[in-house]
């Protein structure tokens, strides 16, 4: 009985520490909720319908409390196992943590914080259970043992409550910012994808990337929580007039909006670190004009609230392209993880030299005067996007019936545009793909083609040609120092009719 109770207490403590960690660090998804969602999604449809009819609007609390109860039940069992051997309970805890990880990974927006919180919980479970059962394992005097156990149980319970409430308090500022963000009504539109941008080939990335599916890169573990009314942007350095802009100043200007595909220099050939969104904000060109850039400047050092920085060619921020101080993404205030309240978006450059999130400072300067976060770490000073194309269908290792196969994917060459995409089956002749519509040269384009396939193993390769007439190079280069090159290929199997 004491062992089962110890298991439950350890279980509660682990949930408390991992939840406190999530609250304090980013307020994102917690493992327990992720497991509850997995339980919901994996319940057979008919059973789910019957259950929801049975319990009505109690389904959500029941799901949450049911999952918690199930978890604590398993923890109790782990506690009883530890009577035989502590390693047995460790194994159960590891399995539970594994389930939590899997549940998080199937969510579209899992975060490093959430994944790490599973580890925090696991360590708590293991340590707390050992602490609680120790008095019984060296058992001599019964009443002394019992007293020891009670003291330790009390400490673990109090510790769990203390840690959970500190986490909750630490997350308060973050929750306030999230609430302020949700209540914002911005003078922006959601953007309408051009007709024919989506070729509707099953399995190809949607032309507009929804915010919760947009790839995410940041060096900070915990995204800064900045309330719009606390935000200012300082513009200084080689300028005639220093400026200090507030969020309201931005809102009172005329908004510029546009489709831009953003991609990461660390995206391997065929990778997913690329997404396309409708961005709204203020052209940075106008701000720099007002500040009055002095002759001799050729770079702008952008700094983030979290200390990250990058240097961007001045020309990319002042030429005709749509470089924005963005406040909205797909018609919604920027998600906190994507730089709320203000970030930079520059068509044609990799994110690491241009797309500063949580932007607070612009210093007009010269490349020979500054070094930035990634250039100090061996990445190239300039980061123009390289032309790339990706196969989404067929996926690597997938199986298909013989006959005509609709293949497809995306290709991008921001600010130059894609002119042509070709595919090659098993080293045969290149075949030109059909391209989806695009509104400008700053976005990716969907492509599709039909290939006839016979039973057996096959390889499909794709390559793109940009609107300057340059075809993507086949030469394979790693992502470091300035972006990967090479053609994307996938191997797939066609089954006998
Ligand atoms: N503050 C801050 N901004 C940042 C980064 C960062 O680490 N910190 N990473 C950059 C990189 S490398 C990329 S690819 C883009 C990614 O933007 P996203 O997370 O909105 O997709 O943000 C850029 N802006
Ligand atoms: Mo990046």
pLDDT at 56: 75
Ligand 1 centroid to Cα of residue 335, in Å, is: 13
Distance 210 CA to ligand 1 centre (A): 17
Q: What is the pLDDT of residue 346?
A: 98
d(CA 113, CA 351): 22
The pLDDT assigned to 42 comes to: 85
Residue 344 Cα: closest atom of ligand 1: 24
Concatenating the DSSP letter of every residue in 279-338 gives EEEEEHHHHHHHH-BPTT--EEEEEETTS-EEEEEHHHHHSSS--EEEEEETTEEPPGGG
Q: What is the pLDDT of residue 385?
A: 98
Query: Is the CB of residue 217 below 6 angstroms from any atom belonging to ligand 1?
Result: yes
Kindly report the protein residue whose alpha carbon is nearest to atom 13 of ligand 1.
351
Which atom of ligand 1 sits closest to the CA of residue 358? 1
The reported pLDDT for the residue numbered 46 is 78
State whether the beta carbon of 351 lies less than 6 angstroms from ligand 1. yes
**pLDDT the model gives residue 139:** 63
Counting ligands in written order, the one closest to the CA of 266 is 2
Shortest-distance ligand to the CA of residue 335 = 1
pLDDT given at position 61: 82
* pLDDT value at residue 48: 76
Which phi-psi region, left, alpha or beta, contains residue 395 (left: φ > 0; alpha: ψ -120 to 50)? Answer: beta
> Ligand 2 centre from 351 Cα, in Å?
5
SS3 of 25, please?
helix
**Residue among 219, 224, 346, 352 to mutate when testing ligand 1 (max atoms within 8 A of CB):** 352
Q: Are strands 324-329 and 343-345 parallel, antiparallel or unpaired?
A: antiparallel
Ligand 1 proximity of 218 Cβ (cutoff 6 Å): yes
Q: Are the beta carbons of 345 and 279 closer than 8 angstroms?
A: yes
Regarding the beta carbon of 305 and ligand 1, being less than 6 Å apart is answered no
The best mutation among 260, 355, 374, 412 to test binding of ligand 1, ranked by most ligand atoms within 8 Å of the C-beta, falls on: 355
Report the nearest atom of ligand 1 relative to the CA of 214: 21
Q: Is the CB of 355 under 6 A from ligand 1?
A: yes
Element (H, E) at 412: strand 403-412
- pLDDT value of residue 230: 96
Q: What is the pTM of this model?
A: 0.87
d(C-alpha 388, C-alpha 464), whole Å: 7
**C-alpha–C-alpha distance, residues 2 and 132, integer Å:** 9
CA proximity to 444, closest of 214, 218, 188, 159: 214
**Residue pair 131/89 in contact by the 8 Å Cβ criterion:** no
With H, G, I as helix, E, B as strand and everything else as coil, classify residue 441: coil
Ligand 1 site, residue 259, Cβ cutoff 6 A: no
Tell me, using a 6 A CB cutoff, whether residue 209 lines ligand 1.
no
Give per-10-residue mean pLDDT for the chain (497 aa): 93 96 87 89 80 78 90 96 93 96 85 91 96 83 89 95 94 93 96 96 97 93 92 98 98 97 97 98 98 98 97 98 97 97 98 98 97 95 97 97 97 98 98 98 98 97 98 97 98 92
State residue 29's pLDDT score. 83
DSSP 3-state assignment of 108? Answer: coil
Name the closest ligand to CA 310: 1
Q: What is the structure's pLDDT at 349?
A: 98
β-strand partners of 405: 451
Segments of 97-172 assigned E as strands: none
DSSP state at residue 390: E
């Amino acid at each position: 009985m004491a062992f089962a109770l110890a298991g439950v207490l350890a279980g509660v403590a682990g949930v408390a520490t991992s939840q406190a960690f999530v609250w304090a660090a980013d307020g994102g998804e917690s493992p327990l909720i992720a497991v509850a969602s997995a339980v919901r999604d994996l319940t057979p449809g008919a059973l789910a319908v019957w259950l929801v009819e049975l319990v009505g609007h109690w389904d959500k609390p029941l799901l949450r409390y049911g999952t918690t109860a199930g978890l604590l039940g398993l923890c109790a069992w782990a506690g009883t196992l530890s009577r035989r051997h502590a390693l047995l309970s460790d194994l159960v805890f590891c399995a539970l943590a594994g389930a939590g990880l899997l549940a998080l990974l199937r969510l579209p927006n899992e975060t490093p914080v959430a994944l790490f919180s599973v580890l925090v919980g696991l360590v708590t479970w293991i340590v707390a259970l050992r602490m609680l059962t120790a008095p019984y394992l060296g058992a001599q005097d019964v009443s002394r043992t019992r007293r020891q156990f009670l003291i330790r149980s009390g400490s673990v319970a109090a510790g769990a409550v203390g840690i959970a409430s500190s986490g909750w308090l630490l997350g308060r500022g973050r929750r306030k910012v999230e609430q302020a963000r949700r209540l914002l009504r911005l003078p922006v539109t959601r953007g309408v994808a051009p007709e024919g941008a989506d070729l509707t080939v099953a399995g190809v990335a949607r032309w507009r990337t929804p915010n919760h599916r947009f790839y995410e890169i940041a060096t900070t573990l915990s995204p800064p929580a900045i309330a719009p009314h606390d935000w200012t942007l300082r513009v200084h350095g080689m300028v005639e007039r220093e400026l200090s802009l507030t969020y309201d100043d931005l809102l009172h200007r005329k908004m510029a909006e546009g489709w831009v595909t953003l991609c990461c220099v660390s995206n391997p050939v065929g990778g997913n670190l690329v997404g396309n969104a409708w961005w709204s904000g203020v052209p940075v060109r106008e701000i720099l004009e007002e500040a009055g850039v002095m002759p001799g400047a050729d770079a702008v050092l952008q700094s983030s609230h979290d200390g990250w920085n990058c240097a961007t060619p001045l020309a990319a921020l002042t030429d005709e392209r749509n470089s924005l101080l963005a406040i909205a993404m797909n018609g919604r205030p920027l998600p906190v993880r994507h730089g709320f309240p203000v970030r930079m978006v520059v068509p044609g450059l990799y994110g690491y030299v241009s797309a500063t999130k949580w932007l607070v400072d612009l210093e007009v300067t010269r490349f020979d005067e500054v070094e930035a976060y990634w250039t100090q770490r061996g990445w190239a000073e300039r980061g123009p996007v390289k032309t790339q194309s990706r196969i989404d269908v067929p996926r690597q290792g997938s199986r298909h019936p013989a006959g005509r196969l609709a293949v497809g994917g995306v290709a991008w060459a921001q600010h130059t545009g894609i002119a042509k995409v070709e595919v090659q089956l098993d080293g045969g002749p290149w075949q030109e793909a059909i391209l989806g519509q695009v509104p400008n040269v700053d976005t990716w384009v969907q492509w599709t083609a039909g290939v006839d396939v016979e039973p057996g193993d096959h390889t499909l390769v794709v390559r793109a040609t940009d609107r300057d007439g340059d075809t993507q190079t086949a030469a394979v280069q790693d992502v470091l120092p300035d972006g990967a090159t090479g053609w994307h290929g996938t191997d797939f199997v066609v089954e006998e009719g």
